[in-house]
Amino acid sequence: MRPQRTKAIILHTFPARERDKLVVFLTPDHGKVKGYAYGARSMRTRFGASLEPLAKVRIGYLEREADEVVRIESVDLIRSLFPAQQNLAASVAASYLAETVDTFAQSGDPAELIYRLLDRTTEALLDGAVPLRVVAYAEIWILRLAGVLPSLRNCNACDEPLGRPLRFDSQAHGFVCANCAANAQVIANDVAEVLDAIMKMPVDEFARRDIAGDVLIEVRSLAAFFRRNFLGHELKSFEMLAGLIT
């Protein structure tokens, strides 16, 4: 067995056997990893609250080359999500972020940028940022990092530079220039400006911007189109989030 010790963010946990948990966690160097935490469901578990979703931890595990699931040996809590969980909207937003990352992150592939995105968006929620702004930021960035978001600079049809207003063509599955825009929908300039800001700003700075709720909803609608087109379905927590965050 090869011992590993790394920082990680817990994505999900599931009951396993009578006293154990199956834990899904994200690491910068090894991507998404699944591991058994033996005895984690017992009353006197040595893991404590360190296996809660979106907890930032330092985790030690043993990896057998032929096995897909590792054995978790130690977990030291670095940062808990508990303060943000006292706010229902922030708590549901955090669960949605965890599901989004779990869906797009790959097992065994380095995930430094995705890890950094999840780390900083979680920190923003803990700092009291407006959940909808954090969610919109994360949705656009995870699509970009996964290679799903089409270019915001070049036409998806002819590769010419895009101007303003920005035009979206659902049949072309992307943004198109004026010459290719026969069936395109014009995107309002304030929505395009928010997309540009997401690409240029860290999440804490973006979350401090004064952005109208309807503009963020339009940004999220675009993200949802690309996500559903890629996955073929919507995320499970999407509707719950839509009902709570306005």
Q: Kindly report, residue by residue over 134-161, the tens digit of the pLDDT.
A: 999 999 999 999 999 999 999 999 999 9
Which residue shows structure tokens 């946990």? 13
Return the domain boundaries, the chain: 2-80, 83-244
Q: How confident is the model at residue 244 (pLDDT cuts 50, 70, 90)?
A: low
Average pLDDT over residues 107-113: 91
Give the phi and the psi of residue 207 in degrees, each rounded to 5.
-65, -20
Average pLDDT over residues 222-229: 95
pTM for the predicted model, two decimal places: 0.92
With 70 as the cut, is the pLDDT of residue 233 above it? Answer: yes
Q: Is 1.20.140.10 the CATH number for 83-244?
A: no
Cβ atoms within 10 Å, residue 127: 13
Architecture of domain 2-80: Beta Barrel (2.40)
Q: How confident is the model at residue 21 (pLDDT cuts 50, 70, 90)?
A: very high
Sequence-separated contacts (24+) of 22-26 with Cβ below 8 Å: 22/69, 23/51, 23/72, 24/102, 25/57, 25/59, 26/101, 26/105, 26/111, 26/114, 26/115, 26/118
